[in-house]
Amino acid sequence: MAIQNNDGVELAKNPTRVKPPPMHKVLLLNDDFTPMEFVVIVLQQFFGLDRERANRVMLKVHTEGKGVCGVYPKDVAATKVAQVMDFSRQHQHPLQCVMEEN
């Protein structure tokens, strides 16, 4: 189907398809020094998890070595990682937060 503009020129109507952005998982990694309660606070404050869900993720981090906090587009995931790392350092905890492509 063609569309005619004011100049009499016909423009072809090509639908463009945009792929959704690649998503990235944000993960917390276990360590032997960061208190469990601090991890729960991080999960609630930066990832919007309720207390019950935050406790489940914290226990997964504790028992399995890592836990998924959320899945986001790359720039959002990078911002979350930076925020968590800054917050952890401000409170003198070695908590590690990383991202990986989903």
Q: Which pTM value belongs to this model?
A: 0.82
pLDDT in the model for residue 45: 98
Model pLDDT for residues 43-70, shown as the tens digit of each residue: 999 999 999 999 999 999 999 999 999 9
Q: What domains does the chain contain, in order, with CATH numbers? A: 32-101 (3.30.1390.10)
SS3 44: helix
pLDDT in the model for residue 102: 93
Q: Indicate if the pLDDT at residue 14 is higher than 90.
A: no
Can you read off the two tokens belonging to residue 31?
């360590």
pLDDT in the model for residue 50: 98
Q: Indicate if the pLDDT at residue 9 is higher than 90.
A: no
CA angle 74, 57, 82 (to 5 degrees): 35
